[in-house]
Amino acid sequence: MKLIIGSRKSTLAQTQTNMVKQMLLTRWPELTVEIDLIDTRGDLNRTDPLPEIGGKGLFTLELEDALRTGRIDLAVHSLKDLPVEDSPDLAVVAIPTRAAAQDMLVSRQAQTIAQLPKNAVVGTSSRRRAAQILVLRPDVTIRDIRGNVDTRLRKLDDPDQVYDAILLAQAGLDRLGYKLEHAHPLPLEQMLPAPGQGALGIQGRTDDTRVNPYLQALDDPVTRSQVTAERAFLNSLGGGCSLPVGAWATMSDDRITLQGMVASLDGKTVIKIEDDAPIVEAEQLGRKVAQNAIDQGATALLEIWGPSIG
C-alpha cells in the first residue's frame, strides 16, 4: 500500500513530515510512503509582514485542497498553524506526542528578557510573543522578522539587521537539531505558548477508511487532551491562530489544568486565567476559561488586532 504525505517545502516542515513518515514505516515497514512538497501562500510571500498577507490558513489551505482532490492521502501541519475550525470533509486524525512547547530567547547579549539592553530590538512576527515581551519590557522595540529558522538566525547575526534578540519555538530548534548556546528557554509564567505549540496535526479525509486506521495509531491521548483544551480556548474567543493569545494545558491524575492569556499588543493590558476540570471535559474547560477571559474584557482587546499570525 502506498501513502502520499503532503508537506510544506520549508526545512522544518520537511523534517516534521519525515518524522511522521518514519512513525508509519516503523509500525508498518511494508508501506510505501512518499512525500509531496506543496507551496502555501504564507511560504510564497516571504517579505511582507504576515498581518498584511491575510488571516487563517496561510500555511495550510493548499495542503487541504490537495487532500480533498486526492493528490495526497494525509497532510502534516504544525498544529499551531492549523485553524481551529474543522475544514469541511477533513479532520485532524492524529496528534502524536508533543515536543517542547516553550519559546526561546535567542540572543548573544542576554539570557533572559530582563537582561536585554535598554531599548533592545526584538525580532518576531507573532503578536502573542510581542505582547508578552512588552508586558515585561515596554522599552523594547518589536521588529517583524520573516523567513525559516536558518534565515532568522542569520538575520540575528547580521549587523545590518540590528536585532538584539529573536524569538523562536523550542520545538522547531530541537527538531532541526540546533544546539545553540545563545538560545534560552523562556519560563511559561513569562511567555505562554500558542495553543497547540510543539504538537503536530496529521490531517486526513473524514471518510477515508483506507488511510485513517494507520493515522489513528499515531495519536497520543495525553497530547490530544491538552491541545483540545488549548484550541477550544482559542476558538471560543472567536479568533484563529493569529491573535495575541497564549494557552498551556497540563495533566495530573484524572484532571487537566489550563492556563490562558489574552493581551493587548502594547502589553499594557493582560488577562490571565487558570482553571481545571476532569480530563474528559478538556473541550468544555477551554470554553469555560475563554468565557472567564471574555468576562474580564478579552473581547475588546481581540477586536483591535484583526488577522495575523500568532
Identify the band that residue 81 occupies on the pLDDT scale cut at 50, 70 and 90.
Answer: confident
Per-residue pLDDT at 42: 60
Q: Is the pLDDT of residue 44 over 90?
A: no
Catalytic residues: 81
pLDDT in tens, 135-162: 999 999 999 998 889 999 999 999 999 9
Whether 131 shows a pLDDT value over 80: the answer reads yes
Distance CA 228, CA 201 (A): 12
Helix-then-strand count for the chain, H and E: 11, 13
What's the rounded Cα separation, in Å, for the pair 226 and 257?
9
Distance from C-alpha of 187 to C-alpha of 20, rounded to nearest angstrom: 29
Please, what are the domains in the chain?
1-96+199-219 (3.40.190.10), 103-185 (3.40.190.10), 221-303 (3.30.160.40)
Report DSSP state, residue 131: H
Alpha carbon dihedral 294, 300, 301, 306, in 10-degree steps, equals: 110
pLDDT in tens, 243-259: 789 999 999 999 999 99
pLDDT greater at residue 45 or residue 170: 170
